[in-house]
A = this chain, B = another copy of it.
Amino acid sequence: SFYIGIDIGSTAIKVALADADGEKVASRVDPTGADFRANAVRSFERLMTDNGVRRREVRYILATGYGRRLFREADDSMSEITANAVGAHRVGQAYGGVATVINIGGQDTKAIGLDDDGHVNKFAMNDKCAAGTGRFLDVAARNLEIGLKELGDYHHRVQGMPATLNSTCAVFAESEIIGLLATGHGKPEIVAGIHAAIAKRTARLARRVGLGERVLFDGGPALNTGLVAALEEALMRELIIPPEPQTVTAYGAALLGRDIDRSERALAEEELP
C-alpha cells in the first residue's frame, strides 16, 4: 500500500509517494499554472503511472498548500506548516535531528520550531511583504535577465564585494538593481547582494522562533547554492539541505496521511466484535 501527499503552492505543485513504511518512493514537481486543479490531478496521476502504482493501492491522499481545498481527490487536507514539520522531522533523522525549519516559498517565508518529537512548538511567517520571499528572487532574476537556476552559479563567481542593496522593499530594490547594472556593477556582485538581503530578512524571521543548532532549509530556493551560502553566513551555522528540498512538505503530507490511515484502521479493528 502507498500514501500520497500533494502540496499545491502558488508557483509549483509538489507530489510525493510513500510506501507502507513511510519511506519516500518518488516525488515530482510541476508548475502550478493557471488551472491548478487540473494540473494537480495530472501531477498526481503521473506520479502513480511513472511508478507503476494503481489508484486502489493508494490508501490515503492528503493535500496541503494554498490550493489544498480545491483538490477534491484528496481524503483530507492539512496546513503546510504541520506537513512541513512532519516531513522535515523524518528527513532530518538522517542528520541527527532538526530543531528549526526554514522554508522559502513562492510567496511566503516560514520558520518553524520543532520539539524532539517533530511537533511544531513555534512558528513565524512572512506572507505580507514580497521582500524576503521567493517572489523577490523571481523579480530580481528577471531584472538581471538571469534564469532562476543560474543564480547560484552567478553568486559563486563574485570577485569583489557583493553589491549593497539599500532598499528593504522589493519594488524599490528593482530600481536599485537596474541602477547597479547601469553603473557597471557585475551581475555576480548584484546576485550576491540580493542573496545577502534575502538572507538577512530570513535570519530575522528564523530568530523569532529561536534558532536551534540543527536548521533544515527547504522549499525551491534551497536549491540555490548562493542563497544557501548567504543564509549560512547570516545564521552563522551550516544548514541541512535535504535532497529534493522542494518536496519535503508534500512528503510530510504523505506521512500524515499514513498516520491518519493507520489510526483509523486501528480504531476499526478495535470495533470488530
Interface residues of A (CB under 8 A from B): 34, 107, 128-130, 135-136, 139, 168-172, 182
A168 CB contact (under 8 Å) in B128, B136, B171, B182: B128
User: How many copies of this chain?
Assistant: 2
With a CB–CB cut-off of 8 A, which chain B residues contact A107? 172
User: How far apart sit A170 and B129, CA to CA, in the bound complex (Å)?
Assistant: 8
Cβ-defined contact, B128 with A171, below 8 A = no
A83 to chain B, nearest CB (A): 23
User: How far apart sit A225 and B135, CA to CA, in the bound complex (Å)?
Assistant: 33
User: How far apart sit A172 and B139, CA to CA, in the bound complex (Å)?
Assistant: 11
With a CB–CB cut-off of 8 A, which chain B residues contact A128? 168-169
With a CB–CB cut-off of 8 A, which chain B residues contact A136? 171
User: How far apart sit A128 and B129, CA to CA, in the bound complex (Å)?
Assistant: 12
With a CB–CB cut-off of 8 A, which chain B residues contact A172? 107, 130, 135
A187 to chain B, nearest CB (A): 20
A269 to chain B, nearest CB (A): 46
With a CB–CB cut-off of 8 A, which chain B residues contact A170? 130, 169-171
User: How far apart sit A129 and B168, CA to CA, in the bound complex (Å)?
Assistant: 8
Q: Looking across the interface, which residue of chain B has its beta carbon closest to that of A127?
A: B172
A130 to chain B, nearest CB (A): 3
With a CB–CB cut-off of 8 A, which chain B residues contact A169? 128-130, 170
With a CB–CB cut-off of 8 A, which chain B residues contact A171? 130, 135-136, 139, 170-171
Q: Looking across the interface, which residue of chain B has its beta carbon closest to that of A179?
A: B34
Could you show 18 A-B contacts with beta carbons less than 8 Å apart?
Answer: A34-B182, A107-B172, A128-B168, A128-B169, A129-B129, A129-B169, A130-B169, A130-B170, A130-B171, A130-B172, A135-B171, A135-B172, A136-B171, A139-B171, A169-B170, A170-B170, A170-B171, A171-B171
